[in-house]
Amino acid sequence: MPRLLLIAALFLAALNTSFQAMDLRAAVYVTKPLATLALAILVMRGAPASRYRAWIAAGLIASLAGDVLLMLPMNLFLPGLVAFLVAHLCYIAAFAADGGGWRVPKLAAVLVYGVAAVVLAFLWPSLGAMRVPVTGYVTIIATMAWQAIIRWQGRRSTATALAAAGSVCFLVSDSALAFNRFVEPYAGAALVIMVTYYAAQWGITLSVSDPAAK
């Protein structure tokens, strides 16, 4: 991948994470969309053309929309949730078509959906009217992680490991976000959420460097 794009994307992600932790909203409004946009450009300009690359790029563009919707001061949480739902569906399409599939390795399925069920059970009393959309979202993100993991199990390459690790980081990041929003705000939430979020997007972004991706 082009070195300058990698450096720019990493710099913007680090800046935005710092600004989020310090609650510098004006700076966040600039760096947050730019950080995700840099990752999308990195995928589109820095990797060989493939269906896998196209789906990952589409997921990053949907994530960019979600980033913008969630950072604005208006109450746009549900539209932001939908944008990230679309992003995860794009990632599922990428993983499933490139070595994933719908077989069910018992350990991976039990671990991923088990963790998702525990998270949902913990959130459930606090969700209220958001129970249906959050349940749907948790199911989709767990499916994304499952597809990434079984893709890695089948190929065992660095690129598939990066995508699998990224998908797990997404579970952590979104769980941290949900606890902070629906259960109780906690110290350091912004830092935890953003570090794991960028770890997730970076893992998935760097996975497009796999020359075997279709």
Phi/psi at 100 (5° precision): -85, -130
214 located within any domain:
no
Task: Quote the distance between the C-alpha of residue 11 and its chain's center.
Answer: 19
CA distances from 144 to 98, 148, 159 (A): 13, 6, 16
Q: Say if 44 falls within a structural domain.
A: yes
Smallest Cα–Cα separation from 91: which of 133, 61, 132, 136? 61
CB-CB neighbours of 124 under 10 Å:
13
pLDDT at 102: 63
Domain tally, the chain: 1
Looking at residue 115, the DSSP 8-state letter turns out to be: H
Would you state the pLDDT for residue 101? 64
More confident site: 90 or 9: 90
pLDDT score for 195: 93
Residue 98's domain comprises 3-209
Q: Is the pLDDT score of 47 beyond 90?
A: no
The pLDDT value recorded for residue 105 is 60
Could you tell me if 47 and 94 are in contact, meaning their C-beta atoms sit under 8 angstroms apart? no
Residue at 143 is within a domain = yes
Residue 118's H or E segment, with its range, is helix 106-127
Segment among 68-72, 76-80, 103-107, 130-134 with least mean pLDDT: 103-107
pLDDT for 87 beyond 70: yes
Query: Per-residue pLDDT for 2 more than 80?
Result: no
Domain-located, residue 86: yes
C-beta of residue 39 within 8 angstroms of C-beta of residue 11: no
* 95-135 pLDDT, tens digit each: 988 766 666 666 777 888 999 999 999 999 999 888 999 99
Residue 119, domain member (yes or no): yes
**Residue 204 placed within a domain:** yes
pLDDT digits (tens, 9 = 90+) for 17-39: 999 888 888 999 999 999 999 99
What is the tens place of the pLDDT at every residue in 166-210?
999 999 999 999 999 999 888 888 899 999 999 999 999 999 986
pLDDT in tens, 127-162: 988 899 999 999 999 999 999 998 898 888 898 999
pTM comes to 0.89
